[in-house]
A and B are shown apart, each in its own frame.
Chain A
Amino acid sequence: MFGEIFGAWIAVFLTLAIFSFLYKDNPFYKIAEHLFVGISAGYWMSMFFWTQIQPNLFGRLWPSEHYTDGIWYGIYNFFGMISSSVFPSGGIDKGHDIHMIYLIPFALGIMMLLSLFKKLSWMARWGIAYTVGMAAGLRAYGYLNSNVIGQLKGTIIPLANSDLPLFSLLGASHFNNIILLVGTITGLLYFFFSKEHTGNFGKVTRVGVYFLMISFGASFGFAVMGRISLLIGRFVELITYSSAQYHHATLWLLVIMVALLGYSAIIDKKNPEPDN
């Protein structure tokens, strides 16, 4: 029970500390910010290691399934002497088969780490080059398929479909299809860079801008609604923690923080900082 109450107080303090940024940058916000940045950096590093590097890299280089007394597992046993939790005895059992091809990412990872040494820091470029090149090649096909061919397919509208109504506010209709086609073409033309947007061409691209702005507006509204639901989530939690079960954590911390910020504001007013 103590742990739950303590956790609630911490959660309320950090939530209110982050909210206090709405007033101005202050020590409460700084505490929350530094804790958040520091803890998350450490947490993600640990997460990446235990969910990616250890099972997916080491687990494929030294799987328990193929454990033998040879040189390869001799190296593994040597690593095991350094850290038995990362390299448990008998190989890593994550359900993978042995894949020596993973020596390449292993080497690239080591090369990234070598950037810590100034003379060898150039080696990190290989890792970066591999990442960028691999991603470009891998995604080119996917993007072409989904963003070009798929988009084309979706925009080639059926004009001869007699089942579709001429106009419908909610469902598919010929009118909506024509809007889709015009919006796609004018939107594409807006991103035409090698011609000045003047004259008739300018008028067409202006229609494209209107389509883009309408879609941005809709997207903005949709995202704001999502954010409001997140805010409501935080408020619900703050209200829950303001109950007697949690010793009125929200109320106490709110009063203390407001009092301290108010006091700090009075002090600042008496001793104003010179402008930069």
Chain B
Amino acid sequence: MNDRDFIIGAGGISISFLIYWFIGHPYFITERIVMFAAIMLFSGTLLFFIRKARRGEEIFLRDIPGLKAVEEAVGRSTEMGKPVLFVPGIQDMDQVETVAGVIVLGHVSKMTARYETTLNVPVSRAIVMKAAQEACKESYLMEGRPDMFHDDMVHYLTDEQFAFAAGVNGIMVREKPAACLYMGKFYAESLILAETGNSIGAIQIAGTASQAQIPFFVTACDYTLIGEEFFAASAYLSQKPELIGGIKGQDMIKLIVIAVLLIGVVLRFFHDSGVIDFSIINFLTVK
């Protein structure tokens, strides 16, 4: 879609909405206007920057050390002739972290295909197994090494959290991978995995948004992608303009949020002092 079509489309939708609003907006839950506005504002910002990136505008992204280290880790495994272990978390594909983990797996498997390094991906959910297999298969095909791909490189262990941790620990101590990557949603097993990886001397890179598990990874891993750094990983690794544009768009959303926060504090001060009637807290309450 070119810019002209996009503007016509967006304008058409906006005018249609305005007409709908002025004729009484039936079925529209006005108590949730804040959510509607937020979705529109955030989606619009993201779309704007994605389109900007697609047009070829240069977008600067700062370095994230943990991401640079991914290629180093695969390279180290290649030099040592040892496998790379990738754990995409213990949750299903309905978790955004698992999806992000599988996307990173796609990039890692491209590297392992390029360097002819063995990749081992134990998973704890059937759907994740299939998705991870597809991601690896595609990567090996894209790198021109379909002969190196085999379904068993992604293998199911169990759904049970600690049995999965015990199984992965066993793989670690027996196969002694040179690089262990943990990218996905983790719970209490995070420290068990990272400690075992540490004990075998593997270079470890973790990426998760599970707030309670980040400290364990920070303690036991060489590099940790915390929170949004992990979600930004696929954009960094792929360098696709639409993904990089998305990152820039998210940065702008953060600025909007900070602006709303500061304005909100001022508005609340005036409301609590009795200067204005408008309550920002009531406005932000989604009913």
Contact = CB atoms under 8 A, between A and B. Distances in A.
Interface string A30-72: 1011001111110111001000000000000000000000000
B167 A135 contact: no
A212 B229 CA distance: 13
Contacts of A152: 257, 260-261, 264, 284
A112 B126 contact: yes
Interface string B94-134: 11100100000000000000000000000000110011001
Contact of A160 (B38, B61, B215, B269): B269
Given A33-B167, A41-B157, A191 B254 contact: yes
B198 interface: no
Given A25-B170, A33-B167, A212 B226 contact: yes
Contacts of A136: 96, 99
Q: How large is the interface on B (under 10, 10 to 19, 20 to 34, 35 or more residues)?
A: 35 or more
A24 B173 CA distance: 9
A29 B172 CA distance: 13
B13 interface: no
Contact of B130 (A44, A112, A158, A223): A112
Contacts of A124: 130, 134
A32 B167 CA distance: 10
Nearest 7 Cβ contacts at the A-B interface: A40-B160, A135-B94, A220-B215, A160-B272, A156-B264, A44-B159, A40-B163
B62 A195 contact: yes
Interface size, A (range): 35 or more
A265 interface: no
Interface of B: 34-35, 38-39, 42, 59-62, 64, 92-96, 99, 126-127, 130-131, 134, 156-160, 162-164, 166-167, 169-170, 173-174, 176, 188, 191, 211-212, 214-216, 218-219, 226-229, 232, 247-248, 250-251, 254, 257-258, 260-262, 264-265, 267-269, 272-273, 280-281, 284-286
Given A25-B174, A185-B262, A193-B61, 6 more contacts: A37-B158, A41-B158, A132-B93, A134-B94, A159-B272, A194-B251
Interface stretch (A2-10, A85-93, A142-150): A142-150
Given A148-B257, A188-B254, A216-B218, A41 B35 contact: no
Contacts, number: 179
A147 to B, nearest CB: 10
Contact of A112 (B127, B191, B286): B127
Contact of B166 (A18, A148, A159): A18
Contacts of A43: 160
Given A135-B94, A157-B268, A220-B215, A193 B99 contact: no
A153 B166 contact: no
B42 to A, nearest CB: 7
A188 B134 contact: no
A125 B134 CA distance: 8
Interface in A84-127: 112, 115, 124-125, 127
Contact of A185 (B93, B232, B258, B286): B258
Given A128-B134, A159-B268, A148 B38 contact: yes
Nearest to A41: B158
A192 interface: yes
A193 B169 contact: no
Interface in A163-200: 181, 184-185, 188-189, 191-197
